A and B are shown apart, each in its own frame.
Chain A
């Protein structure tokens, strides 16, 4: 269980959200929706620990996650709209660099399996500079598969499905349901509420803001 308690985040003069509370159950999937600029991305970046909190805590079970930041970031995969792929490297080189960066052993079989899970095995040696937006997204999503080999409890994804076609969306859904079965927790910021069919929770930031104004 992830407890977000009284989160207040300020960017410059602007308060993005104040006194935000919610509980995210383990093994659940939560979709964060809201208008552009409602703070979806900021909320995700706050949970990961990038954006500093003005007030509030984030607890995983009973532990404040930022007390042991190393353990927390080890336990999650964060995927932004900026994917962190270097355009001078190939798809598999990027995945390899990412996996070693996470401190995981990156043997070629695991990496190939990961690419296969998003249908990218044919493109392993394609340079990112030459690939389309959709392929880039899939190359980044291949990282998710590695959490079935290494221990990760949280996926925190910002607009993961934007550039995906139908077939890769199916593959993505397979990854999600596999992760949920492992009791993994998924938090997704998205405009598109149809990306998962299973049971999911919705966190509407616009609703939250309206309540605050009232």
Chain B
């Protein structure tokens, strides 16, 4: 029994390695996701006017909204690529449960697409004239919430496998699911801004991440089984 479990973890790591390798070959996705994020942020000063007070009011929300919007185009391909080339069929013949493999997908998506956004988030904060002392909390809150974002994104991506116009459908399906993360994520940073304790919101954000960590792999595996069973 022990050997089977150790091989599960090997398979888990192997999947993450494959995903990272695949994505490292074309940096296009990564560059466009960070580029999109910066463009969304630029739109706000352009729309509101370069007035510091106005930007200061919306800055936290803009970063979180931008985060959610920026990843949506890349989510469409998260599972679709592997569905179309037949890899999802192959992993269904793996000794490791599909749920574990789906978890690896969410983790690798997080590593590939969201870590760069976490690392560049101080730049967004500076663009929006945020207080420098609040930046560490911004990074903490995005780190806490972004795994949940990729887990929700994974199940959204699984929902549209084989659908017509899935790319248009996807945002309608997942943006409602993202609202709690937006609320608690912005909550952390707003609390910091007015010198209150951010921990209430932060714990809720972490709790959400844990909930999705449990639910999302099962839901996604169920959807993948449905998709390959056609």
Chain A interface residues toward B at CB < 8 A: 11, 45, 48-52, 70, 73-74, 76-78, 80-89, 93, 97-98, 100-103
Q: Does A102 lie within 8 Å of B94, measured CB to CB? A: yes
- Report B-chain residues with C-beta under 8 Å of the C-beta of A49: 92
B230 close to chain A: CB less than 8 A: yes
| Cα(A101)–Cα(B101), bound, Å | 9
The listed residue (A76, A86, A93, A100) touching B93 by CB distance below 8 A is A76
Cβ-defined contact, A84 with B85, below 8 A: yes
Q: Contacting B22 at CB < 8 Å: which of A73, A78, A89?
A: A89
Tell me, rounded to whole Å, the shortest Cβ–Cβ distance linking A123 to chain B: 17
Are A101 and B21 interface neighbours, CB within 8 A?
A: no
In the bound complex, residues from chain B placing their C-beta under 8 Å from that of A102 are 93-95
A103 to B93 Cα, complex, angstroms: 10
Contacts of B94 in A (CB 8 A): 73, 101-103
List 5 additional A-B contacts (Cβ < 8 Å) besides A88-B23, A101-B14: A74-B95, A84-B87, A85-B87, A89-B21, A103-B7
Please tell me which one of the listed residues B14, B26, B89 contacts residue A84 in the complex, with CB atoms under 8 A apart.
B89
- On B, residues with C-beta under 8 Å from A are 7, 10-11, 14-15, 17-18, 21-23, 25-26, 81-82, 84-97, 225, 228-230
A78 CB contacts on chain B under 8 angstroms:
89-90, 93
A-B contact pairs, 10 of them (CB 8 A): A73-B94, A78-B89, A82-B84, A83-B85, A85-B87, A89-B22, A101-B14, A101-B18, A103-B7, A103-B94
Please tell me if the beta carbons of A73 and B93 are within 8 angstroms of each other in the complex: yes
Q: In the docked arrangement, what's the CA distance between A53 and B29, Å?
A: 39
In angstroms, Cα B97 to Cα A91, docked, is 26
Flag if A73 contacts B21 (CB, 8 Å): no
Residue of chain A at shortest CB distance from B22: A88
- Decide yes or no: A51 and B22 within 8 Å by CB, A76-B93, A101-B15 being known contacts: no
Contact: B95 with A70, CB < 8 Å? yes
Q: In the assembled complex, which residues on chain A have CB atoms less than 8 Å from the CB atom of B26?
A: 88
Tell which of B15, B87, B93, B230 touches A11, judged by Cβ atoms closer than 8 Å.
B230
Question: Does B230 contact A51, Cβ atoms closer than 8 Å?
Answer: yes
Q: How far is the CA of A129 from the CA of B171 in the complex (A)?
A: 30
Contact call B230/A103, Cβ cutoff below 8 A: no
Contact A82–B89 (Cβ < 8 Å): yes
Q: How far is the CA of A74 from the CA of B17 in the complex (A)?
A: 22
Q: For A98, list chain B residues within 8 Å (CB).
A: 90
Flag if A73 contacts B92 (CB, 8 Å).
yes
A-B pairs, top 4 by smallest CB distance, nearest first, are A82-B86, A100-B14, A84-B90, A84-B86
Contact status A50-B21, CB under 8 Å: no
List residues of chain A with CB within 8 A of the CB of B225.
50
Separation in Å of the A98 CB from the closest CB of chain B?
Answer: 6
